[in-house]
Amino acid sequence: MSKQRAAIFASGTGSNFEAINDKSDLACDIVLLVCDKSGATVIEKANHKEVPTFVFNPKKYASKEAYEQKLVEKLREEKIDWIFLAGYMRIVGPTLLQAFEGRIINIHPSLLPAFPGKDAIGQAYSAGVQTTGVTVHYVDEGIDTGPIIAQREVPVLPEDTEDTLKQRIQRVEHTVYPKIVNQLIEDVQKASK
C-alpha cells in the first residue's frame, strides 16, 4: 500500500507541525500545510521543511462554505487522506467534515470535556486545577466536542506561571500527536488488509 498523504492545518507558531514532521518513522507523508493567516510563523517552518503551503484569506470568500469548497478541491487535487489540525483557529464546517468524514483530527491543550475553545491553558490555570492535559480527538461540528482518541494528563505545579504550564503541555503535545498520527494510520492499514 502506498504511503498515506496528510495535510496539516495551522494558524500559528507551528510547533506541532514541526513535531509531526520531525518524527523519523512517521507513517504518512505530510504533503501540504493549509494556513488561514498570511503572516503565520508556521509558514516559515513549512518553507524550511519544503512542505508546500496553501495560504488563504477567509475574508476573500463569500462564506465558510465557499472557502471550504476551495479547500476540498485543493485537498482532492493533492490526494489527501488525512487532515491534522494543529492550532487551526477556525471551526470546521459541514463542507470539509462531509468530504473527510472520520479523517479530521485535532489536538487540544486540556483534558476535554474540560476547558474547550480558546485559551484552554489560561482557562485551566485561572481555574486553579491541579491537573490538566492534552486531548487528541476526531473533529465534529462542535467546538472541541468530537470523539476522544487519546488523552495525557499534565500536572499544574504550585510554582507554575501560565507560561511554564504552556511549555509543559506543549512538550507533551509534541510527543503524543505524532504518536497518535502513526497509530491511526496503522489501524486503518491493518483494517484494510
Q: Which is nearer to ligand GRF, 41 or 69 (CB)?
A: 41
How far is the C-alpha of 146 from the C-alpha of 154, rounded, in Å? Answer: 21
- Tell me the residue length of the chain: 193
Residues 154, 170 contacting (CB under 8 angstroms): no
Residue showing the smallest CB distance to ligand GRF in the complex: 87
Q: Which is nearer to ligand GRF, 75 or 86 (CB)?
A: 86
Which residues contact ligand GRF by CB under 6 A?
Answer: 10, 12-17, 86-87, 107-109, 170, 173
Cell readout for 20 is 509531526
Q: Where does the chain have alpha helices with state H?
A: 15-22, 41-48, 64-77, 94-99, 120-127, 162-191
Verify whether residue 137 is a known catalytic residue: no
Q: How far is the CB of 170 from ligand GRF (least distance, A)?
A: 6
* SS3 of residue 63 by DSSP: coil
Q: Which is nearer to ligand GRF, 81 or 173 (CB)?
A: 173
Q: How far is the CB of 65 from ligand GRF (least distance, A)?
A: 23
Q: How far is the CB of 190 from ligand GRF (least distance, A)?
A: 27
How far is the C-alpha of 152 from the C-alpha of 176, rounded, in Å? Answer: 8
Q: How far is the CB of 147 from ligand GRF (least distance, A)?
A: 17
Residues 7, 31 contacting (CB under 8 angstroms): yes
Q: Which is nearer to ligand GRF, 75 or 139 (CB)?
A: 139
Q: Which one of 48, 108, 137, 174 is the catalytic residue? A: 108
- List residues with catalytic annotation: 108
